[in-house]
Every structure is written in C-alpha cells, then in structure tokens.
Chains A and B, each alone.
Chain A
Amino acid sequence: MNELQFLTWVRGTGLDIAVAIFLLGVIWRLVEIYSLGRKKDLAAPRHTPGASGWHTIVRRSVPPPGMFKQSPVTYVGGYVFHIGLALIVFFFAPHIKLIEGLLGISWPGLPSQIIDLVTVVTLAAMVVVLVDRIKKPVKRFLSTFEDWFTWAVTFLPVLTGWLAVQHLLLPYTTMLALHILSVEVLLVVLPFTKLFHAFTVFGSRWYNGAVNGHKGVPV
C-alpha cells in the first residue's frame, strides 16, 4: 500500500468503519448506562433558585470556591487543552469542510495561523497534564493503563495534524493519513474508555445537580 492508497483508505473505508463503530458504541453505551434508571425521590423537594440539573451542567465548568488554588495545574491544563481541542476540531477550515461533508452544516473557521498557535498551546498543555499525572501522587495512584492510553490516543491526532500541516517528519500524504488514522482510533476507543465522559459528563452533572437540587442545594 502506498501513501495515497493509505490516505484514500483512511479517508474512505477506514473512516466509514471508525464512524460506524463510534456511532454503534455511543448509542449502545448511552442506552446501557441511562436505561438503568433511578428511583423517584419521594422526599418533599425544596426549591431554591439555581438548584437544578441544568444549572449544574453549566456551573460545574467553573472551579468551586477554593478549589482552583488547590490544584491549579489540573484546572489551567484542563481548560487549555479542552478549549484548545474544541477550537482545533471545530474551527480549523478543513475540519469544518469535513463536518459539512458529513452533516451538511458549516460555519466560518479561524485563520490557520491562529489554529497553529492553539495547536502548539494545546500540545503543551497536554504534556503538562501528563507530567502532572506522573508527578502528583494521587493522579499516579489513580492511573491505570487506560489513563496513559487515552492520553496518547487524544494527543496523537493533535500532534500528527500539526506535523502534517507543518510538513514535518514525514511526507505530507503519509502524515495526513496518519492523522486521519489516529482520529479514527480515537473515534473507535472513545465509547469504551474514560473518553466517553465527553458524553456522560452532561448526564453526570445533570444527575448531581438534580439530586442535590431536590434538596435545594445548588451544587
């Protein structure tokens, strides 16, 4: 298989398979998780403004009082790489083109110089959170193979994408193909690893907000 065939495979069959596994996994896992249901809370509710699942979905994006200085690296690193990933995925012109091709919707992108900067910053933030995971006793203690694996699976698409655009290390065709392949790996493993928090984070925050909101506590 030569580079163009490799690229064509990842753009074609590979993408088809990856998107299929992703969709299959996401739907299966979402049904599997949320069909477990929960009991109705029979205690008389206390109504407090701002105490609800929906509020918590939004509110939990901000560090609770006093928490930022407890673990600044986690927060700054986390913010930077999550926002960075979102900007890269949704505002790089070729990505928008891809989404348009798949879903038929599009929006204006950001200039490639800005995306380039964001990418470098995101890569740096991801390295920082990795070092933090290695160095902090709690994080190291909690970490399993999955944590290192999912880090790599998230890091590689950003790295290969950047290398491809910058024409570094390997010929563009090969790097672009590797980039797309790494994204496909990410899509395939996402529903079955902790990366699935990309979906369940909303459910989790909602439940937490709703359970505590029932008591009138805006969490």
Chain B
Amino acid sequence: MSDNRILETLAGQGISRRAFLKYCATLASLMALPPSAGKAFAEALAKAPRPSVIWLPFQECTGCTESITRSHSPSIEGMIFDMISLDYQETLMAAAGHQAEAALHEAMERNMGKYILIVDGSVPLGLDGAYSCIAGRSNLEMLKEVAQGAAAIVAMGSCAAYGGLPKANPNPTGAVAVSDVIKDKPIVNIPGCPPIPAVITGVLAHYLTFGSLPELDHLGRPKSFYGETIHDRCYRRPFYDQGKFAKTFDDEGARKGWCLFELGCKGPVTYNACASVKWNGGTSWPVESGHGCLGCSEPDFWDAGSFYKALSMPANPLKLAAGAAVAGAVAGIAISVSNKARKGAAKTGHETTTLADLEKHHE
C-alpha cells in the first residue's frame, strides 16, 4: 500500500488531475506561498511515496478526528488520507487489541526516524499518567517511545498543542501539551477545538513537498494560518468600528449582523483562519452563524473568562474588593486613632510661649 503514488490513488477515487492541481494551488495560497508553490506541491505530492503516519490519541474527545473525517460530501480535505499511509489510528483502524499494538510497532520499526507522529489529546501527568492508558501503558510512556523515532510531530488540536480542555482549571489529571513532554523533536502545533482540516492538509503537504515544517510562530503554529486574528479578518469588523454591537442574541443588532463583541466574542484575541477559510467546505463559520468566537485555538481559552463576557469585562468576579474595603477602613481608623493620640500629646505638651521663648538658647 505504502508504495502507491498519490495521483494513482486519487484517480482510482475519481478525482481528476485537474481537481488535484486546483487543490494544490488553493493550499499554496492559503499558506501565503507564491503561486509556483502550488505547482511544486502538485509535483512533489504526485511523486512522493506516501509517508508513514502514526496517530496517537490521548486525552481527547475524537473531535479532531471527526473534524477531518466527517465531511458531508467527499471533501478535498479527505484526500489527506490518500496522501499518507496511516499506519496506526485507533479510531479508524480495523485492528484492535494486540493486533493494533503490533501494527504500531511494525510501523515504527519499518519507518524508524522517518514517520510523522500526529498526536491529538493532552498528556496527563497526574498519578504517573494513570488517568489515560492504552494497552496498559500510560500516554506519557507511549508518547516518549513513539516520539523517539518520529521525524516530526504534529500536535493536532488545542489539547495536544496546549493542554486544552483537560488542562482547564483545576486540571485534575495534570494534563500537559505534547511540547511540554517532548523537547528534542520538531513539533508543529495546530490548535483549534477542533482545528481547521485544511490547516492539517496544508502542513502535511508542506512537509511532503519541502521536507520541512512550514514557518512557525512563537507558539509553534504555522504562521500562514495563525498570523492574524479572527477580528482582523471578520466580515462584521466594520460594525465594531462603528460601535454597532448586538446586545443580545435576538435583538435587532443580532438580526442585522452587528458585531458580537459585547456578547463575548473572543475574535480580537484569537489567531486562526476561520474567518477566511471557514468551515464545512467554506459554508460558514461561528461568527457568520451568529455566535461569537470562543477563542478555541488559543492556549487556555477555557479559562479565559466566560464565553459570553465581553473582553473588556473582568474575567472573574472581583473577590477581594469587599475585604480590601474593610481592611482600608480598619487601617484608616487605626492610623486616625494613633494620630489623635499624637496630636493630643502635642497639645498636652504645649508650653506657652513667652517673649523669652522666641530666642534660641545660645551657648
């Protein structure tokens, strides 16, 4: 299987060369690469042997897998599975139990140092990793073992990239991101809950074509997809600038499609490509459907205050205020009592000045 060329496989599925070229061009433009890169993609993908991919699911909800696989119509993103040789993916593979484990080890051995490791889900460190085990081994142990032979790691989704929901306060399992465990391999973070499928395809295409990961930002995200905020690309942005805000989800402003900032939209602080790539084959995206951005591709978005609180609002209720006011009053009263005593002592100690007292004593 793994020797099959991509184009042949695609042809077998009824996807024309033309459609493939168009897809490569689109991908290149999404990644802000020059048009020539589209051609390079196509050529490289057409020739490249399908690389072995091992996909490890840890503390996750399968949402990331769903995002990529559950397209209503056979989408171009689905082609990802034709570009690669997916040798281990628990959710999708037919094998189970010992058979599955055997497949994993076989793939690792056969492609040692060359395979791509995709991880979705966070890694629990609590109780020696006992919160999440596969085949009796903790995710931590498994990650360390499989990462050793990987050429690169893709941390898919916010959990793998940043710890995600499992890491949300109070983080009972001690969940961490892949990058918190593995320090010696190139890691690309593709955050999102779930991430945009085209981003995954883009990253893999880039890797297959250029043999390297795309340019990453300081959070390990491909700059081409995470370079701008949702807010900057949002079609509702003009309403923000005009100060036109929906106040509730069913008011006139909401019906007119005004800005959702006051309803808690996190678009201004969320770096992702939703506003330009959209979802479900470009059908729509959260803000277009009338709901503010949750900021799901940002680290710890779950703990960044309510989804429905405007960004300018306090993230949490102020707990210290009342106590501080009381403490202030106590401090004030204490010092004023002391001041009164001081002033009283000064008054008591007053020596009536006579004319003689106007002169200093000269030795």
A and B touch in the complex (CB under 8 A): yes
Q: Which of chain B's residues have a CB closer than 8 A to the CB of A41?
A: none
Report the interface size for chain B: residues with CB under 8 A from the other chain.
46
In the complex, are the beta carbons of A15 and B325 less than 8 A apart? no
Q: Which of chain B's residues have a CB closer than 8 A to the CB of A17?
A: 320
In the complex, are the beta carbons of A172 and B332 less than 8 A apart? no
Query: How many Å from the CB of A173 to the closest CB on chain B?
Result: 4
In the complex, are the beta carbons of B313 and A101 less than 8 A apart? yes
Name B219's closest neighbour in chain A (CB-CB).
A2
In the complex, are the beta carbons of B243 and A31 less than 8 A apart? no
Q: Which of chain A's residues have a CB closer than 8 A to the CB of B303?
A: 8
In the complex, are the beta carbons of A111 and B269 less than 8 A apart? no
The answer, yes or no, to whether A76 is at the interface (CB within 8 Å) is no
Q: Which of chain B's residues have a CB closer than 8 A to the CB of A8?
A: 300, 303-305, 315
How far, in whole Å, are A29 and B113 apart by their CA atoms in the complex? Answer: 67
Name B327's closest neighbour in chain A (CB-CB).
A24
In the complex, are the beta carbons of B269 and A31 less than 8 A apart? no
Those of B221-240 within 8 Å (CB) of chain A:
229, 231-232
In the complex, are the beta carbons of A29 and B332 less than 8 A apart? yes
The answer, yes or no, to whether B353 is at the interface (CB within 8 Å) is no
Query: How many Å from the CB of B178 to the closest CB on chain A?
Result: 16
Main secondary structure of the interface of A (DSSP, over half): helix
How far, in whole Å, are A111 and B245 apart by their CA atoms in the complex? Answer: 12
Those of B322-339 within 8 Å (CB) of chain A:
323-325, 327-329, 331-333, 335-336, 339
Q: How many A-B pairs fall under 8 Å by CB?
A: 137
The answer, yes or no, to whether A48 is at the interface (CB within 8 Å) is no
The answer, yes or no, to whether A35 is at the interface (CB within 8 Å) is yes
Interface flags for B275-319 (1: CB within 8 Å of A; 0: not) read 000000000000000000001001111011100011111111011
Q: Which of chain B's residues have a CB closer than 8 A to the CB of A11?
A: 304-305, 311, 313-315
How far, in whole Å, are A11 and B269 apart by their CA atoms in the complex? Answer: 13
In the complex, are the beta carbons of B269 and A19 less than 8 A apart? no
The answer, yes or no, to whether B129 is at the interface (CB within 8 Å) is no
In the complex, are the beta carbons of A32 and B313 less than 8 A apart? no
Query: How many Å from the CB of A133 to the closest CB on chain B?
Result: 31
The answer, yes or no, to whether A73 is at the interface (CB within 8 Å) is no
Query: How many Å from the CB of B260 to the closest CB on chain A?
Result: 13
Q: Which of chain B's residues have a CB closer than 8 A to the CB of A102?
A: 314, 318
Size category of the binding interface on chain A: 35 or more
14 further interface pairs, Cβ-Cβ under 8 Å (given A23-B324, A176-B269): A4-B295, A7-B311, A8-B304, A15-B314, A15-B315, A16-B318, A20-B323, A20-B324, A24-B331, A31-B329, A32-B336, A35-B333, A94-B311, A173-B268
Q: Which residues of B contact A (CB under 8 A)?
A: 219, 229, 231-232, 241-243, 245, 261-262, 268-269, 295, 298-301, 303-305, 309-316, 318-321, 323-325, 327-329, 331-333, 335-336, 339-340, 343
Can you list 29 pairs linking A and B with CB atoms under 8 Å apart? Answer: A2-B300, A4-B295, A5-B299, A8-B304, A11-B304, A11-B314, A15-B314, A16-B314, A20-B323, A23-B324, A23-B328, A24-B328, A26-B328, A27-B331, A28-B329, A28-B335, A31-B332, A31-B333, A32-B339, A35-B340, A36-B343, A93-B245, A93-B262, A95-B312, A101-B313, A109-B243, A112-B242, A112-B243, A173-B268
Q: Which residues of A contact B (CB under 8 A)?
A: 2-5, 7-8, 11-13, 15-17, 19-21, 23-32, 35-36, 93-95, 97-98, 101-102, 109, 111-113, 167, 171-173, 176
